[in-house]
Structure 1
Amino acid sequence: MPAAIPFPDLSPELFSIEIGNFAFALRWYALAYIAGILIGWRLAVAAVKRPALWPSGTPPMTPQQVEAFLTWLILGIVLGGRLGYVLFYQPGYYLDHPGEILMLWQGGMAFHGGFLGVAVAGLAFCWRHKIPVLQAGDMMALATPPGLLLGRLANFINAELWGRPSDIPWAVIFPGSMAQDCPGPAGLVELGGMVLCARHPSQLYEAALEGLVLGAVLIWLAWRRGALQRPGRVMGVFFAGYGLARIIVELFREADPQFITPDNPLGHVISLSPAIGLSMGQLLSLPMVVLGAALLTAARRRTA
């Protein structure tokens, strides 16, 4: 059997405190959200403090307005992410259990829902404060990849949203991934006298593409190539870049269990054959690619 990498000894909790009947735990996932928002905020502030980066030397917001927008942003992320998960991934379950919709501590967030929530919050904030929408969108796009990077690393630490079974040398044996989870010989490995299932660490693929690479490209475009001078360009690169990265990584990521059936082992929501189709993540990412391409086309035609 091929070799694989045992999952490191990582706990989903950074630390926990128990005093009598009181218990508190700080989870890596929560810390990723907090750190991602703070880093994104500092990136946005750094950008608006550089008037030369923006058209006519006028940033869309002041640093104080960026700080005020944080509350709107957090509400958009949390409410949009949760409702997106409920509507896109498990509508039937939550229709039968509506009382669990707001139980965020049980897990279940969707990036595409969070994106829609942030879009609604951003449009409302811009309308209220008379802020140029495209330039504000460029600023938010620039600030988003750090949160994606940290969020995907937290997914890895939580041993969730793992990849498909694989024999690659860097395949990981995630906790709870047993031999019976491998539909074929790919991924079967022996560890400690047990036969287990090794998988693509797809969370790390997403962290690298959606967070590290995309974030570096956006910073380079904004600070070195004057991309913020053409409103919509940075936002267009973000939408198209995220959509393409997600579509690619979905090829290696295990489908959500509610979409997997004996006749549809890869969990396609649009299936052309047992081996060819689109996952829910790919289906939701396609409009982002189209929107990103449209924004880039419009920005190219727009005079700075």
Structure 2
Amino acid sequence: MSLFVLPFPAIDPIAIELGPFAIRWYALSYVAGILFAWWYMLRLVSNARLWGGTSPLEKRDVDDLILWITLGVVLGGRLGYVLFYNPAYFIAHPAEILQVWAGGMSFHGGFLGVVLAVLVFAWWRGRPVSAMADISAAATPIGLMLGRIANFINGELWGRPADVPWAMVFPLAGPEPRHPSQLYQALMEGLILFLVLRILTHRFESLNRPWLTTGTFLAGYGIARIIGEQFRMPDAHIGFLWGGLTMGMLLSLPMVLIGLAIIAFALMRPKRTA
């Protein structure tokens, strides 16, 4: 075991408290991620060069879509956590299913919620599903990064025991130094994936090839999550599954395969015409 252990920064999970009213960093991470996604998607839609001439979407489409995405993230994320990670508990305590403020959100559930929201909204508005999916994918990683940082502030979803110089003792995880896996995931699933997608959209104009940005996001997130799971402790009530796999790995593997298939499909199709 390493002789050098970094102290866990004692950051209050509550960012703002006014009497009985409290706002947590975790909630603020969702708000900031959604606001950034809104701003960034507006910039993508406004840049005709990225679309090969004319954007198939208007700014008002983004203004309305962001509300649908928000509902998809919150409802899908909560229901995904209920179904994927702790169904037995919530069957016994159904009144707690909608208590989002009590914690418990699933990325994969939120992702499915966003997919459904984009499909329904695109059909209702009569806009290309591929364009809405691509701008949503390009804007998502920063929100994921902020969410993982909030996990770190909460001292939750900690890593496996480690002897690296930057290992930390998390207040609720016992005396063993552990990987700050939340920060690893914030870097890989958030910052690095965002930069990859930004280079793809701005340097290689991937928005001009329908579904290419979406496929890259799916494959990139799945790979980053599988790598991150190597350092993260699985949920205590689930533990390790077959062969040391975790639930996060099992849910991410289909994303990688589907993402690669979408990338191949997008590259075989002609570019978007103005």
TM-score (norm 2): 0.96
CA distance in 1 between partners of 2:58 and 2:148 (Å): 30
Q: Which runs of 5+ in 1 are unaligned?
A: 179-195, 261-266
Shift of 1:29: 0.5
Deviations, residues 280-299 of structure 1 (Å, cap 9, x unaligned): 00000011101110110011
1:52 to partner: Cα distance: 1.6
Higher relative contact order, chain-length normalized (CA < 8 Å, sep 6+): 2
Q: Name which of 21, 27, 31 aligns with 2:28.
A: 31
**Shift in Å, 1:134:** 1.2
| 1:258 counterpart SS class | coil
| Aligned ranges 1:196-207 → 2 under 5 Å | 196-207=175-186
Distance across 1 between alignment mates of 2:220 and 2:233: 21
Aligned residue in 2 for 1:229: 208
Q: What residue is the counterpart of 1:80 in the other structure?
A: 76
Correspondence for 1:139:
135
**1:247 correspondence with 2:226:** yes
| Residue in structure 2 matched with residue 6 of structure 1 by the alignment | 7
Aligned pair partner of 1:148 in 144, 147, 162: 144
Matched, 1:163 2:159: yes
Larger fraction in strand: 1
Report the alpha carbon displacement of residue 277 of structure 1 after superposing the two structures with TM: 3.0
Question: For 1:259, what is the secondary structure of its paired residue?
Answer: coil
Measured on the aligned residues, the alpha-carbon RMSD in Å equals 1.0
What secondary structure sits across from 1:3 in the alignment? coil
SS of the counterpart of 2:237? Answer: helix
Deviations 1:114-160 (A, max 9, x none): 00000000000000011111121111001101100100000000000
Letter in 2 for 1:86: V
Q: Once the two structures are superposed, what CA deviation does each residue of 1:15-50 show, in whole Å capped at 9, x if it has no partner? A: 2111xxxx1111100110000001111110000001
1:97 aligns to what? 93
> Which residue in the other structure is 1:212 paired with?
191
Aligned partner letter, 1:38:
L
Question: What is the Cα deviation at residue 176 of structure 1?
Answer: 2.0
Decide whether the 8 Å contact of 1:141 with 1:235 is kept in 2.
yes
Q: In the alignment, is the contact (CA less than 8 A) between 1:60 and 1:136 conserved in 2?
A: no
SS at 2:57's partner residue? coil
Per the alignment, in what secondary structure is the counterpart of residue 244 of structure 2?
A: strand
User: Which structure's residues are more often helix, by fraction?
Assistant: 2
In structure 1, distance between residues paired with 2:26 and 2:132: 27
| Pair 1:125 & 2:121 matched | yes
Which runs of 5 or more residues in structure 2 are unaligned?
none
Q: Quick check: 2:74–2:110 contact (8 Å CA) kept in 1? A: yes
**Structure with the greater alpha carbon radius of gyration:** 1
Q: Is the CA contact (8 Å cut-off) linking 2:76 and 2:113 kept in structure 1?
A: yes
Amino acid at match of 2:99: M
**Runs of 4 or more consecutive aligned structure 1 residues displaced over 2 Å after TM superposition:** none
Counterpart for residue 237 of structure 2: 258
Equivalenced residue count is: 270
| Residues 158 and 233 in structure 2, CA contact (< 8 A), matched pair in contact too | yes
C-alpha displacement of 1:60? 3.0
* CA-CA distance at 1:224 after TM superposition: 1.0
Counterpart position of 1:294:
261
Distance of 2:54 and 2:121 partners within structure 1:
18
Instruction: Map residues 172-191 of structure 1 onto 2, 5 A cutoff.
Output: 172-178=168-174
> Are residue 282 (structure 1) and residue 255 (structure 2) matched?
no
SS in 1 for 2:157: coil
Which secondary structure does the structure 2 equivalent of 1:167 belong to? coil
Instruction: Report the 3-state secondary structure (helix = DSSP H, G, I; strand = E; otherwise coil) of the residue aligned with 1:16.
Output: strand
- For residue 14 of structure 1, give the secondary structure of its aligned residue in structure 2: strand
Q: Which amino acid aligns with 1:259?
A: I
- Counterparts of 1:197 and 1:115, CA distance in 2: 33
Q: Secondary structure at the match of 1:283?
A: helix
Deviation digits for residues 68-103 of structure 1 (CA, Å, limit 9, x no counterpart): 112111110000000000000000110111011011
